């Protein structure tokens, strides 16, 4: 985190300008000076974790179908780039590939589990296994952990904290749900993740979290006024689709 100001997290990569969750979006996030990268993960039919937000591939690719019904090879044959940048095809990115980019570029990751019900807990199991395989499940200092797991699902957070106590976790939700601290305490989350819309309504959420020993991760912070709000409140991490301009707003 640079200079004591909020750390900038590139939401789905630099997804304002580049196709979300592609290598071009993740590499642009690094080039634009983001401190960390956020990605969503889903499980393929053959049990690989891939960086995708939606349950199905139609919105962001030239393919069709549910991620959970497709093998990794099927997804790798699809084009996830041209819908945003015509004529610039890009393959799906696996979590392993993103971890390698984070390692070589020295960026942190915020990995969000999405929840195909049919896998019941398998996403978290595979995620913890991947972090262990890459040596990322036991950081020396939790405050400086290379990977933080984030989720709207309390049970997902609880499973990660149980199986990988060295990996910090953030419970996402609206500020009104997170404000009292009970939901985060119940699943042993070290951070809370309110939407910026809900934080505008309840800015006291940040100070209350800090008093309880928790940090705040706010999403998705794309306007100058919201960046200023978060910075003024001392939000530790702000997720944005536009890391470069967010960096320059923070520099003032
Ligand atoms: O970073 C949290 C945020 O990404 C949650 O919403 O729908 O963009 O995954 P969504
Ligand atoms: Ca997300």
Q: What is the tens place of the pLDDT at every residue in 180-207?
A: 999 999 999 999 999 999 999 999 999 9
Q: Is 11 a catalytic residue?
A: yes
Rounded Cα gap, residues 80 and 64, in angstroms: 12
Residue 88 CA to ligand 1 center (angstroms) comes to 25
Residue 93 CA to ligand 2 center (angstroms) comes to 15
pLDDT at 225: 97
Q: Specify the ligand 1 atom closest to the Cα of 217.
A: 1
| Domain regions of the chain by residue span | 7-43+106-251
pLDDT at 210: 95
Average pLDDT over residues 132-159: 88
Helix then strand then coil, in percent of the chain rounded to 5, is 40, 20, 40
* Homologous superfamily of domain range 7-43+106-251: Phosphatidylinositol (PI) phosphodiesterase (3.20.20.190)
Name 37's bridge partners: 10, 109
Average pLDDT over residues 117-130: 88
pLDDT at 116: 67
Average pLDDT over residues 6-30: 97
Rounded Cα gap, residues 79 and 57, in angstroms: 10
Predicted confidence (pLDDT) at residue 136 exceeds the cutoff of 80: yes
Q: Can you say whether the dihedral through the CA atoms of 146, 153, 46, 92 is positive or negative?
A: negative
Predicted confidence (pLDDT) at residue 226 exceeds the cutoff of 80: yes
């Amino acid at each position: 985190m640079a200079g004591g100001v909020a750390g900038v997290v590139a939401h789905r990569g630099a997804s304002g300008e580049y196709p979300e969750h592609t290598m071009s979006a993740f590499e642009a996030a690094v080039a634009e000076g983001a401190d960390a990268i956020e990605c969503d993960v889903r499980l393929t039919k053959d049990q690989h974790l891939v960086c995708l937000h939606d349950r199905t591939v139609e919105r962001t690719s030239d393919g069709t179908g549910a991620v959970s019904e497709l093998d990794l090879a099927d997804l790798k044959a699809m084009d996830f780039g041209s819908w945003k940048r015509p004529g610039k095809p890009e393959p799906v990115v696996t979590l392993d590939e993103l971890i390698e980019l984070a390692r070589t570029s020295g960026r942190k990751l915020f990995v969000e589990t999405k929840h195909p019900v049919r896998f019941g807990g398998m996403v978290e199991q595979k995620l913890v296994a991947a972090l262990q395989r890459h040596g990322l499940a036991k950081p020396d200092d939790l405050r400086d952990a290379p990977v933080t797991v984030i989720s709207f699902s309390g049970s997902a957070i609880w499973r990660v904290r149980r199986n990988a106590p060295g990996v910090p976790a953030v419970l996402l939700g609206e500020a009104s749900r997170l404000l009292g601290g009970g939901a985060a305490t119940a699943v042993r989350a070290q951070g809370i993740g309110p939407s910026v819309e809900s934080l505008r309504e309840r800015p006291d959420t940040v100070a209350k979290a800090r008093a309880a020993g928790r940090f705040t991760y706010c999403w998705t912070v794309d306007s100058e006024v919201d960046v200023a709000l978060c910075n003024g409140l001392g939000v530790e991490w702000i997720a944005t689709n536009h890391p470069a301009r967010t960096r320059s707003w923070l520099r003032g």
